[in-house]
Chains A and B, each alone.
Chain A
Amino acid sequence: DTGVSQNPRHKITKRGQNVTFRCDPISEHNRLYWYRQTLGQGPEFLTYFQNEAQLEKSRLLSDRFSAERPKGSFSTLEIQRTEQGDSAMYLCASSASRRTSTDTQYFGPGTRLTVL
């Protein structure tokens, strides 16, 4: 399977705990994105990497959130001191940069986070 993969698929944690999610993009894709989706809403952009450089962060990404892509391949998203409002589906997407138009982004299956 050469699609985007995410682990874990589900995570239940208690408020105040730290969690970390991993995303493995499609191997030839140099761009990687994190989105968050809550029930009944569209995905909301969190952050974006081109290779190992984090080029944009949403205002949704508070100080408790940090993302890395250390070697320009897989990425991790960490949430510290989780709150109940962090409960959501966290989606990762990847794309290959194209000079002439918006990239097509391919999404992984997501990690569903439940904060108790």
Chain B
Amino acid sequence: GQSLEQPSEVTAVEGAIVQINCTYQTSGFYGLSWYQQHDGGAPTFLSYNALDGLEETGRFSSFLSRSDSYGYLLLQELQMKDSASYFCARGGATNKLIFGTGTLLAVQP
């Protein structure tokens, strides 16, 4: 199997830190990507992990543990504009992405 699981919804307040988890099945796994999608918009690439560890890009960081088949996206200093859906997606040998079901993040004032 190649499915990915994420929490369906997360709520947090402005300025806070939030972590969105993603678990995946290991068959044919190459790496884990994270995408942000605002309502009605296109998925926008945020981060990619091929190896274990933390990748940091500004307020966003992504972590991967291949031994645990687990990754997360960490969003710091939350802003209202971060309210969106966040998808983890796994890549494989053929380069197609298999997306998780998405996590809807609501940032409250």
Contact = CB atoms under 8 A, between A and B. Distances in A.
Interface residues of A, number: 26
A56 B94 contact: yes
Contact of A42 (B30, B44, B92, B101): B101
B44 A102 contact: no
Interface residues of B, number: 24
Nearest to A105: B97
Interface stretch (A12-20, A66-74, A78-86, A106-114): A106-114
B60 to A, nearest CB: 15
B31 A101 contact: yes
B87 A42 contact: yes
A107 B43 contact: yes
B45 A102 contact: no
Contacts of A109: 41-42
B42 A48 contact: no
A56 B31 CA distance: 19
Contacts of B97: 33, 35, 43, 45, 105
Interface of A: 4, 31, 33, 35, 40-45, 48, 55-56, 91, 95, 97, 101-110
The 5 A-B residue pairs with the shortest CB-CB distance in the complex, in nearest-first order? A42-B99, A102-B91, A107-B42, A45-B96, A107-B43
